[in-house]
């Protein structure tokens, strides 16, 4: 009986460890590097959580309609190790963002470069230049 229980527990643990890996995606599966996008707008929300940090930007289209774009970054751990601070991006910041558009046609992109109004720049995973805080 103990052997059966041990096998069951091992099976459950093995199944549970696969779920996070299945939820993660490759860049090429979700984004098209041949379809770049450059967006200018105001940050409406910042999510600093795994597996990827995200920030959302209100962008005015040619027709004046506002679209809220979901911009993906690296993991919070990788961002921190590469010089990002948790409060680098804030709601209300005006930004110019370059990235690769999602293949599904939604207002989603993988961030390549972020430029804030004060000139600070951040890439997908790192701080590009070290402009002192105001």
E-strand ranges in 15-132 read 31-47, 54-60, 66-72, 94-102, 108-116, 121-123
Is residue 109 a contact partner of residue 99, using CB atoms and an 8 Å limit? yes
Mean pLDDT by 10 residues, the chain (134 residues): 49 44 63 94 97 97 96 94 94 98 96 95 80 44
Question: Which pLDDT value is given to residue 96?
Answer: 98
CATH number of 25-123: 2.40.50.140
In degrees, rounded to 5, the angle at the alpha carbon of residue 35 between the alpha carbons of residues 32 and 40 is 115
């Amino acid at each position: 009986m103990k052997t059966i229980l041990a096998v069951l527990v091992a099976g459950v643990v093995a199944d549970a460890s696969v779920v996070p890996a299945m939820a993660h995606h490759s860049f090429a599966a979700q984004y098209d590097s041949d379809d770049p996008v450059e967006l200018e707008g105001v940050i409406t929300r910042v999510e600093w959580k795994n597996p990827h940090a995200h920030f959302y930007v209100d962008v005015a289209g040619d027709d004046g309609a506002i679209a809220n774009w979901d911009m993906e970054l690296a993991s919070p751990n990788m961002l921190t190790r590469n010089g990002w601070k948790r409060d680098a991006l804030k709601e209300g910041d005006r930004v110019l963002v370059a990235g690769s558009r999602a293949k599904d046609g939604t207002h989603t992109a993988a961030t390549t470069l972020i430029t804030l109004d004060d000139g600070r720049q951040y890439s997908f995973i790192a701080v590009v230049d070290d402009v002192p805080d105001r």
